[in-house]
Amino acid sequence: GNSVTQMEGPVTLSEEAFLTINCTYTATGYPSLFWYVQYPGEGLQLLLKATKADDKGSNKGFEATYRKETTSFHLEKGSVQVSDSAVYFCALKVDAGNMLTFGGGTRLMVKP
């Protein structure tokens, strides 16, 4: 079956530090990959996506590259801000179905 594994949190960083949140996946077929973010008190929001191998998704300074050879989609940001504090979810979708398969979420806490 399909599954997503991401590093457990919380991840605590100082402002301007480099961020990596690891995500690996198992999927039948060729999935599309996503990162969603949930800020406190809000719903999940699409942060970025990649639909095929070697694609790089980027948004708001965050990046993730679809690595088929390592079945990974690690999230990175060069310099985090306090406002980036949130829970980050890695997810995949295969074929034309509507179902997203999520990882467990990683809480990021950025201290000033």
Partner 1 sequence: EPEVTQTPSHQVTQMGQEVILRCVPISNHLYFYWYRQILGQKVEFLVSFYNNEISEKSEIFDDQFSVERPDGSNFTLKIRSTKLEDSAMYFCASKSQGAVEKLFFGSGTQLSVL
Q: Taking CB under 8 A as the rule, does residue 4 contact partner 1?
A: yes
DSSP string of 44-112? EEEEEEE-STT-EEEETTEEEE-BTTTTB--EEESS--GGG-EEEEEEEE-TT----EE---EEEEEE-
- Decide: residue 58, CB within 10 A, 0-12 exposed, 13-18 middle, 19+ buried: middle
Among 10, 61, 78, 104, binds partner 1 (CB under 8 A): 104
Q: Does 78 bind partner 1 (CB under 8 A)?
A: no
69 binds partner 1 (CB under 8 A): no
Query: Residue 84 is which amino acid?
Result: D
Site stretch for partner 1 (CB under 8 A), options 37-45, 53-61, 67-75, 77-85: 37-45
Interface residue with partner 1 among 28, 29, 69, 97 (CB under 8 A) is 97
- Residue 89 as a binder of partner 1 (CB under 8 A): the answer is yes
**Interaction site with partner 1 (CB under 8 A):** 4, 32, 34, 36, 38, 41-46, 49, 89, 91, 93, 97-105
